[in-house]
Amino acid sequence: MEKSTPSRTERVGRTRRERGAKAVSEVRRGLILEAAREAFAELGLAGASLREIARRAGYTPGALYSYFDSKEAIYGALLGESLERLNRCVAEALTDGTPPLETLRAAATAFYGFYRDQPQELDLGFYLFNGVRPTGLTPAWNDRLNRRLRDALAPIEQALIAAGRSPADATRATTALFAQIVGLLILRHSGRIRMFGQHADALLADHLDSVVAGLPIQR
């Protein structure tokens, strides 16, 4: 017996049902991620169990496996979304045709500003560490997330090359600037910077001035 061809009405109905199911799935996934973000913020990555995340999301632990196969996958998804927002923030701060040194300052300031204004995103990144040993993610997840972090730093490295640094020197300078930004953010976020009577924003501006002063191209 030949199968009948679905009518246009049937095809439209099926498409609508599929779209509806997808929308519901996305909403549920979002609820799980939001519950996980809250649990990680309060309990840390090690202390937040799948059972606790499920409880906060209003699901059974087994239901979570329809969306994520592990707590680490949930964490990876959260950090991945955070890094996507970071990349957009940096990209939005840049303008085509801007001289290299202005691009350098704009990219570095946007990167720093993203975490300064959203300290919870900085916390999210540091949940990955237990002491000084990274824990919790597979090598594949770690590589994927590191690539997106490098993507956010790429405009800085490219600006340094355009300003006259060799690629190797640009990589070293970008690494040093990244370390400077992270250090300032930790001091600011923890309140430790007050013991020195300094301001993180001003210290970053001073550091950028010193980077620019050492570049071959001054424009």
Do 93 and 190 have their domain in common?
Answer: yes
pLDDT at 3 over 80: no
Range name among 122-131, 165-174, 205-214 with the lowest pLDDT average: 122-131
Kindly give, in sequence order, each residue whose CB lies less than 8 Å from that of residue 91, ignoring residues fewer than 6 positions away.
155
Do 29 and 94 have their domain in common?
Answer: no
Q: What is the mean pLDDT of the chain?
A: 86
pLDDT at 217 over 70: no
Tell me the whole-structure pTM to 2 decimals: 0.82
Domain of 61: which CATH number?
Answer: 1.10.10.60
Do 54 and 133 have their domain in common?
Answer: no
Do 50 and 110 have their domain in common?
Answer: no
Range of the domain at 20: 1-69
User: Are the C-beta atoms of 160 and 212 separated by less than 8 Å?
Assistant: no
pLDDT at 21 (0 to 100): 43
Do 58 and 112 have their domain in common?
Answer: no
pLDDT at 132 (0 to 100): 47
pLDDT at 22 (0 to 100): 46
When divided into structural domains, the chain yields a total of 2
Do 112 and 195 have their domain in common?
Answer: yes
> Which tokens hold the place of 212?
């620019």
Do 31 and 104 have their domain in common?
Answer: no
| Listed residues 69, 91, 116: the one ending a domain | 69
Apex 117 CA angle, 111 and 118, nearest 5: 90
Helix (H, G, I), strand (E, B), or coil: what is residue 5? coil
Count of beta carbons in the 10 Å neighbourhood of residue 175: 12
pLDDT at 10 (0 to 100): 55
Domain of 122: which CATH number?
Answer: 1.10.357.10
Mean pLDDT of 157-181: 96
Better-predicted residue by pLDDT, 156 or 16: 156
> Which tokens hold the place of 195?
């013991």
Do 29 and 93 have their domain in common?
Answer: no
pLDDT at 141 (0 to 100): 81
pLDDT at 36 over 80: yes
The span from the CA of 115 to the CA of 189, in Å, is 9
Do 105 and 18 have their domain in common?
Answer: no
Task: Give residue-wise pLDDT tens across range 76-128.
Answer: 899 999 999 999 999 999 999 899 999 999 999 999 999 999 998 998 888 76
Do 115 and 155 have their domain in common?
Answer: yes
Return the DSSP state at 55: H
Helix (H, G, I), strand (E, B), or coil: what is residue 134? strand
